[in-house]
């Protein structure tokens, strides 16, 4: 039986929240948490790519969680008006009919946006990674080619540094600079899907962790269709709740969201442990 752990996008708050969910599972059932962390496949998109790199690094989960509670952080404080950003996406893609064209348009928007310099952003990403090397496991980190709109899935076999793959998957268009890899520029894998759970096709049990409300899909949410694609595999989704959304605040990219988001996720992880145990078998 093959098991997959899918970690969705959600900004700096999402990283803390997802680590909190896993820490909550560990509170409730340490052996279960160990088996979830040892999933045969880990898929990480955007914020989830950073979590995937952390939990497969060999660093204890408790240490990773405790880092989210610290007031010290290498994260870059950035202003975010989500409504304004989504309006820019909508305007860029308004008359386009295909997903490829829409991704190209958002890629063009990202390439034209003024952001921090790429090396500055990459240094912040590097600070998220306890270990700079890919784990000796199946980890998939999707990103988007900013020019072609192609979905590219990085893995240890891609010949790409882990920090570059995570930075690419986390490169929110219009906020962070596209990431240069082998002469190409890449943007956030969440532009394709916040979860990219379809990459877990062929697995028998799939746990999806996403910092979104179940009845309020995030932008680029594709989870419903992806669950259909994963059948006959059995999927369980851990969603955020209203307390978590309150912890994320109006700017989930702010480092200040880390402690409250981590704590909110931990509470959900405890509550979800029995359902995850049923799924994982």
From first to last of its 281 residues, what are the pLDDT tens digits of the chain? 999 999 999 999 999 999 999 999 999 999 999 999 999 999 999 999 999 999 999 999 999 999 999 989 999 999 988 889 989 988 988 888 888 899 999 999 999 999 999 999 999 999 999 999 999 999 999 999 999 999 999 999 999 999 999 999 999 999 999 999 999 999 999 999 999 999 999 999 999 999 999 987 666 778 888 999 999 999 999 999 999 999 999 999 999 999 999 999 999 999 999 999 999 98
Helices (H) and strands (E) in the chain, counts: 11, 8
Continuous H helices in the chain: 11-28, 30-37, 47-55, 61-69, 82-93, 99-112, 118-128, 162-169, 223-230, 242-248, 258-280
- The CA distances from residue 183 to 108, 178, 179, 186, in Å, are 16, 12, 10, 10
Q: Is 119 exposed, middle or buried (0-12, 13-18, 19+ CB in 10 A)?
A: exposed
pTM: 0.96
Instruction: Supply 25's token pair.
Output: 């599972």
Burial 229-260 (b: 16+ CB within 10 A, else e): ebeebbbbbbbbeeebbebbeebbbbbebbbb
Q: Which residue in the block uniquely carries the two structure tokens 């690419």?
A: 168
User: What's the rounded Cα separation, in Å, for the pair 145 and 141?
Assistant: 13
């Amino acid at each position: 039986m093959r098991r997959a752990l899918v970690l969705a996008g959600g900004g700096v708050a999402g990283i803390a929240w997802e680590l909190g969910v896993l820490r909550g599972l560990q509170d409730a059932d340490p052996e279960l948490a160990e088996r979830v962390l040892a999933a045969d496949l880990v898929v990480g998109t955007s914020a989830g790519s950073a979590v995937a790199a952390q939990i497969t690094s060999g660093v204890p989960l408790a240490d990773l969680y405790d880092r989210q509670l610290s007031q010290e952080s290498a994260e870059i404080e950035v202003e975010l008006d989500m409504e304004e950003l989504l309006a820019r996406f909508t305007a860029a893609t308004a008359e386009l009919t295909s997903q490829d064209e829409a991704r190209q348009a958002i890629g063009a928007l990202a390439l034209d946006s003024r952001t921090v310099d790429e090396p500055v952003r990459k240094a912040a990403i590097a600070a998220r990674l306890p270990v700079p090397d890919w784990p000796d496991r199946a980890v998939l980190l999707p990103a988007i080619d900013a020019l072609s709109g192609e979905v590219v899935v990085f893995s240890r076999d891609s010949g790409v540094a882990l920090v570059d793959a995570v930075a690419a998957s986390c490169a929110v268009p219009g906020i962070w600079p596209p990431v240069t890899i082998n002469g190409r520029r890449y943007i956030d894998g969440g532009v394709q899907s916040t979860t990219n759970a379809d990459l877990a096709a062929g697995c028998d049990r799939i746990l999806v962790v996403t910092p979104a409300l179940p009845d309020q899909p995030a932008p680029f949410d594709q989870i419903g269709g992806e669950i259909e694609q994963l059948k006959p595999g059995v999927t369980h989704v851990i969603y955020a709740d209203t307390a978590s959304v309150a912890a994320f605040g109006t700017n989930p990219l702010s480092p200040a969201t880390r402690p409250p988001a981590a704590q909110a996720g931990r509470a959900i992880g405890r509550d979800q442990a029995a359902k995850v145990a049923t799924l994982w078998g």
